[in-house]
């Protein structure tokens, strides 16, 4: 293991990950494993230095890569003195890496996973709630989650401009199935887009075991939005105020 400083190169501008005609969309179509990688948590070692946080690095062929693990015992064996253990999602880790640095996950595995610099944008695109061109399955008739709704209700009712909340489940390609919370709101009302904060706090309060994605109904692609609006009963509808 080595810990070199990332190379100081600007790199070429990268296309927007949401562009369905981008190389990232093609990469996702050709490599379905990319959705699992984008939906993964990994363990990393970090050392605080005068120049900021320093990760663990290794040479993979001619490519310098940050090193991440999925096995706690494995990373503890490799962790150098002065490094601390952290858990992070793969997309958040990639966002923090220099564009010229790759990523290797499970360096002692027979076939470790790698994300090379030219694959980085494809993984970030695959991490979007609704990646362009990816197969998405939304459960009809909803998934009401009474404990989650009860914990989130005080926060929702305190937010002006929220009209309704829909709760169901959805899955992108072969990534993990998640609870999907879609909220209909008035974007002209300040703070009406803070529903995610209420649900994140509620999930922590009840120790929600399942992964969850909170999105505005308007941000669901037009091809998928009717599935939520027409087949998922709302779990919350704001009552009209009496005059």
Looking at residue 140, which CATH number applies to its domain? 3.30.70
- CATH number, position 56: 3.40.1350
One domain for residues 153 and 65: no
Q: Which of 98, 126, 154 is the last residue in one of the domains?
A: 126
- Report whether 43 contacts 69 (CB < 8 A): yes
Question: Is the same domain home to 92 and 141?
Answer: no
Domain boundary among 126, 160, 179: 126
The predicted-structure confidence for 89-145, as pLDDT tens digits, reads as follows: 999 999 999 999 999 999 999 999 999 999 899 899 999 999 988 899 999 999 989
14 lies in a domain? no
Which domain covers residue 193, as residue numbers? 136-237
Lowest mean pLDDT among 6-15, 40-49, 223-232: 6-15
> How many structural domains comprise the chain?
2
Same domain, 108 and 148: no
Overall pTM surpassing 0.75 (yes/no): yes
Do 117 and 140 belong together in one domain?
Answer: no
Give the residue carrying structure tokens 């600007």.
10
Same domain membership, residue 214 and residue 122? no
Average pLDDT score over the chain: 88
Q: State whether 41 and 59 are in the same domain.
A: yes
Q: Is residue 243 part of a domain?
A: no
Tens-digit pLDDT profile for residues 157-184:
999 999 999 999 999 998 999 999 999 9
In a shared domain, residues 40 and 103: yes
Per-residue confidence band for 206, with pLDDT thresholds at 50, 70 and 90? very high
Residues 212 and 164 in one domain: yes
**Are both 121 and 177 inside the same structural domain?**
no
| Helices 146-157 and 195-205: angle between axes, nearest 10 degrees | 140
Assess whether 76 and 166 both reside in one domain: no
Residue 189 Cα distances to 104, 152, 185, 205, 242, angstroms:
44, 20, 8, 27, 19
In a domain, 226, yes or no: yes
Q: Does 189 have pLDDT greater than 70?
A: yes
Residue 142 located in a structural domain = yes
- How far is residue 21's CA from residue 27's CA, in Å, rounded to a whole number? 11
Tell whether 47 and 105 lie within a shared domain.
Answer: yes
113, 37 Cβ separation under 8 angstroms: yes
Q: Is residue 18 part of a domain?
A: no
4 within domain boundaries: no
Do the domain assignments include residue 12? no
Residue 7 lies in a domain: no
What count of other Cβ atoms lies within 10 Å of the Cβ of residue 46? 17
CB 240: neighbour CB atoms within 10 A? 6
Residue spans of alpha helices (H) in the chain? 23-30, 33-38, 72-78, 90-96, 120-126, 146-157, 195-205, 225-231
Q: Lowest-confidence range among 49-53, 154-158, 217-221?
A: 49-53
Do residue 30 and residue 120 come from a single domain? yes
- State which of 80, 100, 126 marks the end of a domain: 126
């Amino acid at each position: 293991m080595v810990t070199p400083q990332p190379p100081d190169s600007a790199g070429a501008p990268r296309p927007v990950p949401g562009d369905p005609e981008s190389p990232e969309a093609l990469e996702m179509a050709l490599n379905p494993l990319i959705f699992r990688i984008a939906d993964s948590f990994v363990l990393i070692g970090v050392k605080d230095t005068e120049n900021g946080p320093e990760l663990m690095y290794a040479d993979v062929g001619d490519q310098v890569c940050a090193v991440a693990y999925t096995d706690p015992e494995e990373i503890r064996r490799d962790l150098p003195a002065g490094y601390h253990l952290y858990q992070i999602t793969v997309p958040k880790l990639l966002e923090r890496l220099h564009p010229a640095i790759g990523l290797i996950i499970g360096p002692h595995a027979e076939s470790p996973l790698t994300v090379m610099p030219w694959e980085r944008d494809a993984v970030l695109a695959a991490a979007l709630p609704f990646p362009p061109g990816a197969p998405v399955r939304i459960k009809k008739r909803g998934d009401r989650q009474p404990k989650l709704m009860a914990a989130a209700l005080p926060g929702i009712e305190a937010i002006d401009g929220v009209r309704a909340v829909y709760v169901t489940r959805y899955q992108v390609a072969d990534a993990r199935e998640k609870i999907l919370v879609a909220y209909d709101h008035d974007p002209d009302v300040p703070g009406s887009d803070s529903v995610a904060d209420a649900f994140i706090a509620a999930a922590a309060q009840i120790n929600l075991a399942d992964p969850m994605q909170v999105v505005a109904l308007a941000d669901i692609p037009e091809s998928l939005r009717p599935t939520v609006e027409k087949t998922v009963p709302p779990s919350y509808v704001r009552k009209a105020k009496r005059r």
